[in-house]
Amino acid sequence: MHILRFDNKNKLTLGRGLNVDMRIPEISVSRCHSDITYENGNFYLNDNSSKYGTLVLIQKDFYMDFTHNSIDLQVGRSILSFDFKVK
């Protein structure tokens, strides 16, 4: 389980590299696979031109609707479950 916080920044990175906010140690995940930004009360997922894509090869930013407070995403062969808590 990872807890990612947007306290002092508006962008978090996901990937298998050493300099990401959430490390996913899987060969099908790029070093800097994708990032999540928080802007004006909304979360956005951006695929960083990763080889295998995020979800179904996202071609543009994806609005993460958290009205149900959770969302599941596939990154490489990993499934990520996000639960959102906004203060």
DSSP letters spanning 36-78: EEEETTEEEEEE-S-SS-BTTT--S-EEE--TTSEEEEEETTE
Class of domain 11-83: mainly beta
Say if pTM beats, i.e. exceeds, 0.85.
Answer: no
Q: What is the pLDDT of residue 18?
A: 93
For the segment 35-57, the average pLDDT, to the nearest whole number, is 76
Beta bridge partners of 23: 15
The domains of the chain are located at: 11-83
What pLDDT band is residue 73 in, cutting at 50, 70 and 90? Answer: confident
